[in-house]
Amino acid sequence: MTKNGGRGGTERLVVIGGDAAGMSAASQARRLKGPGELEIVAFERGHFTSFSACGIPYWVGGDVSERDDLIARTPEEHRARDIDVRLRTEVTGIDVAGQRVRARDLDSGAESWTSYDKLVIATGARPVRPDLPGADAPGVHGVQTLDDGQGLLDTLARARGRRAVVVGAGYIGVEMAEALINRGFEVTVVNRGKEPMSTLDPDMGRLVHLAMEGLGITMVNDAEVTKVLTAADGTVRAVATPDAEYPADVVVLGIGVRPETTLARAAGLPLGSRGGLLTDLAMRVRGHENIWAGGDCVEVLNLVSGQTQHVPLGTHANKQGQVIGTNAGGGYATFPGVVGTAVSKVCDLEIARTGLREKDARRVGLQYETAVIESTSRARYFPGTSSMTVKMLAERRTGRLLGVQIVGREGAAKRVDVAAVALTARMTVEEMTALDLGYAPPFSPVWDPVLVAARKATAKLRAS
Amino acid sequence: MTKNGGRGGTERLVVIGGDAAGMSAASQARRLKGPGELEIVAFERGHFTSFSACGIPYWVGGDVSERDDLIARTPEEHRARDIDVRLRTEVTGIDVAGQRVRARDLDSGAESWTSYDKLVIATGARPVRPDLPGADAPGVHGVQTLDDGQGLLDTLARARGRRAVVVGAGYIGVEMAEALINRGFEVTVVNRGKEPMSTLDPDMGRLVHLAMEGLGITMVNDAEVTKVLTAADGTVRAVATPDAEYPADVVVLGIGVRPETTLARAAGLPLGSRGGLLTDLAMRVRGHENIWAGGDCVEVLNLVSGQTQHVPLGTHANKQGQVIGTNAGGGYATFPGVVGTAVSKVCDLEIARTGLREKDARRVGLQYETAVIESTSRARYFPGTSSMTVKMLAERRTGRLLGVQIVGREGAAKRVDVAAVALTARMTVEEMTALDLGYAPPFSPVWDPVLVAARKATAKLRAS
């Protein structure tokens, strides 16, 4: 039953947003349905498709030498697979009742309507730009898009001095601190929270704080930036808090992102409390049979808390795009939700978390015990072994695992995956003590650090 | 109800074997019961307690500089915690009806009986020594004990030349190949099987074979050693197969181990088809309320195959010892079984497996699909990324994960832990495709290699 499409019997799938979720959906739908059955049109307001935003800090820092290394698939590659990618074309309205979208050619300014049988909304996220005097000054940069990354690299190349201030101490903030150190800058991170990495509990954030100082980064916590100060030529010269000024030749904003759902809101589609689109398990926008949404513009179910949250991560966007493309292509797939896994690094410091923090558990009414242990990445006697701290939360009485946070060096980050699977399987920490994890002296102590934490959590639950 | 013990109301726990399982049991029992309640006597025929046999290849190879680095806890440390460790004392008989063991002082030759209320059998494993002419010649070494390791190091130091032959290509064999390369030897590995690492399927073992050749190791497969040839002075000079002779200044036997259950067999205790003691979930020897067994002398339940097997690994020995000590100390704990996880390395090649191989699945009547994929350890554009091959087995119809094998470089081995947890939780490969594993460019592609394999396995199941 097609009401659109160029040829008889051909349906049209319209995709809004040409990044991970949108183009994964388009590609997967194309795998299932050839161009004779399904026409696919993808609108992208920028110059690129399918790029790795998560890779930008490493491009800025020099680990990745070319911008194009971050592009997983070019518009030409998509077009070669019969996906009609329209770059520099911004969708400006969705007419749900009429099953059509209005799009503007950003170069010519021309607007036109395109009808759809099936619609995918993958509009991503927009960076939080604080409403600060001076925040638009030259030398102040976000790091959301490839254009942002290029702009920052240009600033770094011509900066007057070598002082950098990073505003925000989440994933982007700490990764940009590393990038700027690698570029030879003196880095100050100004952070509103009590400790960096507010996705960790403060006791674990404290370990990140100390390690960052050990790397020569100046950490300013409990500090709200109120102003960006500029030089006579209008470029940035400092960042100000109520208490101090931090001189800066370049400023990077890493304050976080919000779902980009302006279009969805205007179209009357359902949004959650974090401003993201609400979908069902098949990634259909709730209440709409032929509209799907995925990536940074949606809220996802956290399987541990039972509530939706906004988790802008490329790995979810790719999975959701895959699910959407399968369903839009006539197959069947679901995205059951997330457990809140995230990993990052600052130089050789690895940071990982999954599940709930203490405050998350309290907020959703879960009572818990915590265990914090220190162990090593390899057998204690093996060269290159390094210490790691593992924090584990378990529910009182049931003993169910609620969350894990790890701060350490080599081998710390990906150890959190064990906990991610255990959370998905709703294991208890006592069940975890018996997990048959890989052991050999170069890879782990005979009790893996995650198991040591599970043992301690089990003992605390028994004593409570 | 004590029938033994020095003081009124004090029970006596006797432990046979002073290594991982035995001393973990003793230590844990001591944590729960003080010396006023429980006397603990541990008999050990060697000179050491609680050493890491898995660390011996790294000591021989020079990664670990001191023998004593491999000792987790010395006899003196155990004695300081009121555990009566009796070294160089070999238990020569168990009188189950009389609740006593006979032990011989290996220096004086004197024998005496010691009664027990509770008994722990942790007699470990003995290396398979092939019944070969010349196998006892100087220069031919096993690597089971610290004394073995020291003997081998002495031989390496005074070897006439630099040619080493390793017999066997399992974990010990490949790890010893690395150790000997690190010591500057030319290494030939003579292997009975079609490919090295018979704990992998041959297609994955083939990858190990090729990588070992890339490291300069000569791999001889499909070759049964029939004789060890000696020089005029009686020391080893070559290893012979029916087809060839391989000159050797040193020979290392890494053919595997068998449960050391001579005592248990003589005492009429129940043994499985692999010769290991059979226990219940509390690690009690089946049919015996007050006798526990753990470590390399027992058979363990494989949770995937539903059958017992012999898995001589320190990590199981430690866990089982912990469980035994808890139960013997009046608490409650169980060891539910293993899923067959093992990791190893040869230089920078990492090798991992968990669950069932194809032949294991066939043997227990499971039908399956396989998926083999190649992916990378980090984002494809991130420096230091390396390829890894993941093989996955899933049950036909149910889609349940049956096993995973990984061969790659940095980050390959411990990725198998994700599959180990998924096996324990009896996940399907389709459920695995949605796992929320840690993603950041330095740690993983946006689709972790394990997820890529799960996707492919899911697709193959759907098509079958």
% of chain A residues with pLDDT over 90: 95
State both tokens at B155.
Answer: 């031989």
Q: How far is A297 from A262, CA to CA, in rounded Å?
A: 10
pLDDT, residue B1, reads 42
In Å, how far from its chain's centre is CA A125? 10
State both tokens at A64.
Answer: 């990745």
Is A54 catalytic? The answer is yes
- A372, A391 in Cβ contact below 8 A? yes
Single-letter amino acid code for the residue at A369: E
Q: What is the CATH number of domain A11-126+258-328?
A: 3.50.50.60
CA dist A262 → A17, A98, A351, B185 (Å)? 13, 19, 33, 68
Catalytic residue among A4, A5, A35, A54: A54
pLDDT, residue B8, reads 63
Residues 33-92 of B with CB under 8 A from A: 52, 54-55, 58, 63-64, 69-70
Q: Which residues of chain B have pLDDT under 50?
A: 1, 5-6
- A17, A48 in Cβ contact below 8 A? no
Chain B CB contacts of A437 below 8 Å: 315, 341, 414, 417, 420-421
pLDDT, residue B215, reads 94
Q: What is the pLDDT of residues A386-396, one digit of tens each?
A: 999 999 999 99
Comparing CA positions, the residue from A350, A47, A58 lying closest to residue B381 is A58
What residue ranges do the domains of chain A occupy? Answer: 11-126+258-328, 140-255, 349-463
Catalytic center residues of B: 54
Chain B CB contacts of A418 below 8 Å: 417-418, 420-421
Region class of A257: left (phi > 0), else alpha (psi between -120 and 50), else beta: beta
Asked whether the domain spanning B140-255 has the same topology as the one spanning B11-125+258-328, the reply is yes
Single-letter amino acid code for the residue at B401: L
Decide if B330 touches A, using CB distance below 8 A.
no
What are the DSSP calls for A28-97, one per residue? Answer: HHHHHS-TTTEEEEEE-SSS-SSB-GGGHHHHHHTSS--GGGGBSS-HHHHHHTTEEEETTEEEEEEETT
Could you tell me the strand order of the sheet in which A89-95 lies? A89-95, A100-105, A111-115
Quote the radius of gyration of chain A (alpha carbons, Å): 24
Lowest mean pLDDT among A128-142, A260-274, A354-368, B211-225: A128-142
Q: Are strands B300-301 and B308-309 parallel, antiparallel or unpaired?
A: antiparallel
Residues 274-313 of A with CB under 8 A from B: 313
Q: What is the pLDDT of residues B143-156, one digit of tens each?
A: 999 999 999 999 99
Residue A6 reports pLDDT greater than 70: no
B126: how many CB neighbours lie within 10 A of its CB?
16
pLDDT, residue B362, reads 98
pLDDT, residue A451, reads 98
Cβ contact, residue pair A69, B381, below 8 Å? yes
% of chain B residues with pLDDT over 70: 98
pLDDT band for position A8 (cuts 50, 70, 90): low
Contacts 24+ apart (CB under 8 A), B97-103: B99/B3, B99/B4, B99/B290, B101/B14, B101/B16, B101/B43, B103/B43
| Alpha-carbon distance B311 to nearest alpha carbon in chain A (angstroms) | 11
Chain B CB contacts of A344 below 8 Å: 440
ipTM greater than 0.90? yes
Is B349-463 in CATH node 3.40.50.720?
A: no
Residue A385 reports pLDDT greater than 60: yes
The class (CATH top level) of B140-255 is alpha beta
Helix (H) or strand (E) holding B100: strand B100-105
State both tokens at B318.
Answer: 């430690």
pLDDT band for position A280 (cuts 50, 70, 90): very high
Q: Are strands B349-355 and B342-346 parallel, antiparallel or unpaired?
A: antiparallel
pLDDT, residue B381, reads 94
Q: For tokens 């049209």, name the residue.
A: A12
Chain A CB contacts of B344 below 8 Å: 440
Q: How far is B334 from A427, CA to CA, in rounded Å?
A: 16
Biggest CA-to-CA distance, chain A: 71
- Residue A179 CB partners (closer than 8 Å, separation 6+): A57, A58, A60, A61, A62
Decide if A332 touches B, using CB distance below 8 A.
no
Residues 156-175 of B with CB under 8 A from A: 171
Q: How far is B199 from B353, CA to CA, in rounded Å?
A: 8
pLDDT band for position A5 (cuts 50, 70, 90): very low
Q: Are strands B163-167 and B186-190 parallel, antiparallel or unpaired?
A: parallel
CATH superfamily of B11-125+258-328: FAD/NAD(P)-binding domain (3.50.50.60)
A:B CB pairs within 8 Å: 203
Decide if B383 touches A, using CB distance below 8 A.
yes
Q: What is the pLDDT of residues A307-335, one digit of tens each?
A: 999 999 999 999 999 999 999 999 999 99
For an interface test with B, give the residue of A385, A418, A432, A436 to mutate (most B CBs within 10 A).
A436
Q: Which residues of A295-330 are buried (b: 16+ CB within 10 A; e: fewer)?
A: bbbbbbbbbbbeebbbbbbbbbbbbbbbbbbbbbbe
